Structure 1
Amino acid sequence: MKFGIISLYYNNHNLGGLLQSYAVVALLNEYGFEAEQICYDLSISNAQSRMYQRNRRKKLLLSSGFKIVYSKLKGKISRIMQKPSNISNELKKQLSVFQEFEDFIPHSTVVYNIDTISEANAAYDAFVVGSDQVWNLGQLAHDAMYLGFADPSKKKITYAVRMGKASITSYEKPIFLSKISNFSEISVREQSLGKLISSISNIQWTSVLDPTLLLSYDQWKTIENLAVLPNDRYIFCYFLGDCKWQRKFVQNYADSNGLRIIDIPYVMGIKRKSDSFLKSDSRFDVGPREFIALIKNAECVFTDSFHAVAFSVNFNTAFYVFDRDGLSGRKSINSRVTDFLSMLSLSNRRIVSQKQDLENDEIIWENVNPKLEQERTKSIEWLKRQLSE
């Protein structure tokens, strides 16, 4: 049986996104199936999707008093302003390691779009959608994200689908409901999406782990690139947000412990002003394989990213996580991070104050690993049941 996987894989230069894409393929291959990512170009629209986006923007404007749209526009302008005017050799190097890993993941030779995705039925016996924000409401017009194109005879599975912010307008609700009615059971990453599904339908849902957590330490070890590692002890920083006091906090920790700092500048092509407060070794040669190696071999990881936390836990690397300060100036308490920490009794790894004391705060991995293994077993059993039915 050949599985086609719909995710945000295609042209996605996001570390977490590509690592999720790899993990789903690896899992299905491990279970004896042939699987690959379907190259689906989300940038292409048609008349129906353009009408949806126009109507959605109008409804958001009316319902939010312009606040939501203004905030999104402000964030987009901020990101544009912070992009370098010229693509430097360093950024080209960063892009090349991402593309190398993207090519490494088994994928379709055909690039499908909103008008041609139904042709994928001829190439695959079954389909999986997920993980990542495949159900972000901004993509609701793309039937592919809900496997609406798949023939009725084809097996259709969701795995760890996400919506982002799980709130929905009266305009979006009936459209979303019609899309998810394609499934008898849905697996979600966050319970907030599951609760939303329960509020508008009778569809069963299950909360499962991010697919990157279903692969073991040994499985990830086979693809890490150790060439990126320095010769001395280091802290690895991976920040998506832009907060000055968080960078100063990390620098103080590094100075106090005699550790070098390695960070990734221009995450997804965007410079963060607060990075100037780090006396760090900024690396442009870090893609997914290098990211894994840097986390696994670090003395400690400081981050505001879910996947940096997930890999730290998987590798038993000490870590601390901050709430994310957005480039638009808005603070985001990342619920998927806090839920994950709570599940593993690791909530004390969250730094909420620049005066927080980190002394005598070691992680007892012997207490954490059984909890993770229990959740991993539950998620794998759910997936295997879907595959066998």
Structure 2
Amino acid sequence: MKYKELLMKKNKIGLITTHDTNNYGAILQTFALYHFLSKFRKIEIINYDNYHISDSMRVLRFEASLIGILRLVKDLLRLFPRFSVIKKIRKFQNEFFLMTKKVNKENIKDLNLEDFGYLISGSDQIWNPACMTSNKSIDGTYFLNFAENITKISYASSLGSYIFSDIEQKTVRKNLIDFKHISVREEDAKIQLEKFINRRIDHVLDPTLLLSQKDWVDLFRLKKSEYREKYILLYSVPHTKLLKNICNHFSSELNLPIYSINQNPFSSIKINKHIKSAGPKEFLDLFFNAEFVITDSFHGVCFSTNFNKNFIVAKPEGLSNRIESLLKSVGLNDRMINSSEEIEKTENIINFERANSLLLNLRKNSKSFLQRAIDINKV
């Protein structure tokens, strides 16, 4: 077989990421990377069933422990909204993703990769053992250890705030030795990994930011609603005291109601509209139409920035490095509030001119990384 014919045959991309979870950010980052790559090559998601992650897609979850029982009670209290969200996520997956057969850690090596020329791991916290496994061990599947003789790439893989031990560093170094291109989502991950694998690592954007605001609007036909009242959008899971104080202040300051996207049955924050069953498309619409956003979520910051929404970040307890890295890269460091004392000093309005310029350049560099990595000039 001639080189050109062989290249054409083996030009498919396999993507492994957090594609099967009850999490808006994870689903939408999967969509964004899949959509961008599909412009250049055929792509399939490696349908890896990581039970620790996919367990969130079960309507009712039960384990024989106190925590398991409490979680089951919580799931029962939000049974119908939870069922609705999971159904919408499944519909979204079926509409937009082509996936391989379902595989697990035991049989993933049996997956037929004959037509695949590239494997990409990322994005999301796939390299954070604290997030990806129940025993906080490294899952080598996300380091593509199931495949040989194939071009391996990581795109915007994240460690969260995890620091690898000396023993874990040896495992990671071994797993990454045959990667052709490596990129991560956070600056501190780049610094940490470069120290012990002794090679260049690129710092790139989260996949949701590969797509411009116009891309998201056109793809999902997002429209400004003329009939919906103006609102502050709250997107957060843990409702901390700081978050409560921020909501009270800006709701009063802006004289706007609070809409909350949250599947939890109850809220400790006074909200005017509790949206418990939003699907991925409704999530995008709620961000696009919000007058102001309050969040402590990384992807909440991504969409607020990309949609040019005035927003405030309540510093989350732990894992704030992900948000801090993003805010720093687009010059919006001052949008994070660390304590209640800072609330009244924070401006309501953001001038996005500089942020948009920085984001445009970062997007260009991130796209260039991917295009180089998948050799689009060869076919």
Structure 1 residues 209 and 178 mapped into 2: Cα distance closer, same or farther (>3 Å)?
same
Gaps of 5+ in 2: 1-10, 53-65
1:56 equivalent in structure 2: none
2-structure distance, mates of 1:248, 1:133: 29
The yes-or-no answer on 1:258 pairing with 2:255 is yes
Q: 1:176 aligns with which of 153, 167, 172?
A: 172
Q: Is the 8 A contact 2:213 2:307 kept in 1?
A: yes
2-structure distance, mates of 1:79, 1:214: 39
2-structure distance, mates of 1:227, 1:79: 40
Tell me the secondary structure at the aligned position of residue 134 of structure 1: coil
Q: Which amino acid aligns with 1:378?
A: N
1-structure distance, mates of 2:84, 2:138: 35
2-structure distance, mates of 1:124, 1:339: 33
Q: 2:101 aligns with which of 110, 113, 116?
A: 110
1:341 equivalent in structure 2: 327
Residue 122 of structure 1: how far off its partner (Å): 3.1
Residue 239 of structure 1: how far off its partner (Å): 0.6
Structure 1 residues 76 and 182 mapped into 2: Cα distance closer, same or farther (>3 Å)?
farther
2:13 equivalent in structure 1: 3
Stretch moving more, 305-314 or 130-139:
130-139
Q: Which amino acid aligns with 2:71?
A: I
Residue 360 of structure 1: how far off its partner (Å): 4.9
1-structure distance, mates of 2:218, 2:27: 16
Q: Which amino acid aligns with 2:15?
A: I
Matches within 5 A, 1:119-134: 119-134=111-126
Stretch moving more, 227-236 or 304-313:
227-236
Q: 2:145 aligns with which of 145, 148, 153?
A: 148
Matches within 5 A, 1:102-251: 102-118=93-109, 119-137=111-129, 139=133, 142-152=139-149, 154-224=150-220, 231-251=228-248
The yes-or-no answer on 1:322 pairing with 2:309 is no
1-structure distance, mates of 2:175, 2:365: 27
1-structure distance, mates of 2:70, 2:185: 27
The yes-or-no answer on 1:96 pairing with 2:83 is no
RMSD of aligned alpha carbons:
2.7
Q: Which amino acid aligns with 1:174?
A: K
Structure 1 residues 220 and 120 mapped into 2: Cα distance closer, same or farther (>3 Å)?
farther
Residue 132 of structure 1: how far off its partner (Å): 0.8
Q: 1:371 aligns with which of 358, 366, 374?
A: 358
Tell me the secondary structure at the aligned position of residue 236 of structure 1: strand
1:62 equivalent in structure 2: none
Residue 86 of structure 1: how far off its partner (Å): 4.7
Q: Is the 8 A contact 2:161 2:321 kept in 1?
A: no
Q: 2:339 aligns with which of 342, 350, 353?
A: 353
Q: Which amino acid aligns with 2:243?
A: Q
Q: Deviations over 1:147-204 (max 9, x none)?
A: 122231x222110011222312233222222111121431011122222222222222
Q: Deviations over 1:59-99 (max 9, x none)?
A: xxxxxxxxxxxxxxxx9679738724455222222222222
2-structure distance, mates of 1:250, 1:209: 29
Q: Deviations over 1:240-287 (max 9, x none)?
A: 323034223213321332212110222xxx55x6x2322320012312
Q: Which amino acid aligns with 1:35?
A: I
TM-score, with structure 2 as normaliser: 0.83
Tell me the secondary structure at the aligned position of residue 102 of structure 2: strand
Q: 1:29 aligns with which of 29, 32, 38?
A: 38
1-structure distance, mates of 2:70, 2:187: 30
Gaps of 5+ in 1: 45-74, 325-330
Stretch moving more, 209-218 or 75-84:
75-84
